[in-house]
Amino acid sequence: MPSVPHLMTLADLSPKEISRVIRHAHVLKRVSQPWLAPQQRNSKLQAKLKMPSQSLFSKSVALLFSKRSTRTRVSAETAAVLLGGRALFLGSEDIQLGVNESVRDSARVIGGMCQGIFARVGDHSEIEELAKHSPVPVLNALSSLWHPTQILADLLTLYEHSHYWPTAAHQEPTSTKFAELRAPRPLTVAYVGDSANVLHDMLVTYPRLGHHLRVASPENPKYRAPEPVWNRVVELGCDKKIWWGADPKEAVKGADVVVTDTWISMGQEAEKEERLKAFQGYQVTEQLCREGGAHPDWKFLHCLPRKSQEVDDEVFYGPRSLVFPEADNRKWTIMALFDLLLGKWELNTSYKTENIDAVGRDTVSDVKS
């Protein structure tokens, strides 16, 4: 019997496995979209449309959310439906892990009734405890240390916009074969802000995919990566491609992509005044990136929700911003994880990918992980 395929952080996956999830998400996206936008569908081709994978048919996914959410919840619920299954939302008012019942017992009970658990928790130890005792896959929707699904969405967004950073083999995107999804050339990715779960998964992922990270955060240790995270960074050899300082302008030097996140995470509201003071000068603006020497065509990412002190309107709503395609891609990358880990339990095997082009034709190709 195969071991249960949990996912706590992208540090758990190899670069090939990460690439597989990204490309599978793109396949699911293109196969699913014609069904979701009938007003854009050619009626003559309707009979040729391919159904997305139905690996969750008659299955249920428990969404254990101890923290409120917009993108993660909507993405997960709609992804489960597209795969033929159902998402069962259990918020903090429905279930409190470790309060009325131990995490161990909750994992066993929920895992006995559902075929997967997608958990958005507080302390990372909670999801580790769930995974330890669950008979079904547990996927980390967000914890205090890691946010793997966000970085998968960011990567899919960068892949889909790789024409901004072309290699000699790149061509402009066309309306034909979507199988031509290409990884971008090695990028310089700048992160300006607090060292929180989004950055932590960036630290263990981007360097292994060939990209360089430049990070700026205040010198206070509370705004730097905690020891368990940095230990994983070093263990994976990612530290060799990471620059970390306190000057935002220095961090964006040569940046192809600039990323920021909230300065005040849920549960840190009492620190608001202190944090706003600590992050003065960290707002992402055209001026900051120009003076810091970012690449002239730099693009911007933010996991949302956004506050204006983190990035100004000119950048956030301007042509550099990829934040809304990035948000949309939360759905497709979560759908890929649900399909592969909850529906098929086969992330580590070779697989067949249906290549569906814009007019409904399809071919099949082998992809090796």
Active site residues: 303
Q: Is omega for the bond preceding 173 within 30 degrees of 0, making it cis?
A: no
Q: How far is CA 312 from CA 164, 284, 317, in A?
A: 22, 7, 9
Residue 56 in contact with residue 40, Cβ under 8 Å?
A: no
Phi, psi of 87 (to 5 degrees): -100, 130
Separation CA 291–CA 277 (nearest Å): 22
Count CA within 13 A, CB hemisphere, residue 329. 28
The angle, 0 to 180 degrees and rounded to 10, between the axes of the packed helices 15-36 and 148-160 is 70
Count CA within 13 A, CB hemisphere, residue 190. 28
Separation CA 285–CA 313 (nearest Å): 9
Separation CA 10–CA 235 (nearest Å): 13
Q: Scan for tokens 């409190």, then name that residue.
A: 96
Cα-Cα end-to-end distance for the chain: 21
Separation CA 136–CA 297 (nearest Å): 44
Separation CA 134–CA 112 (nearest Å): 8
Count CA within 13 A, CB hemisphere, residue 127. 27
Proportion of the chain in helix, strand, coil states, percent, rounded to 5: 45, 15, 40
Task: Report the length, in residues, of the chain.
Answer: 369
Residue 76 in contact with residue 63, Cβ under 8 Å?
A: yes
Going by C-alpha positions, the residue among 356, 343, 367 that lies closest to residue 27 is 356
The pair of structure tokens assigned to 355 is 């290549």
Q: Scan for tokens 């994880």, then name that residue.
A: 337
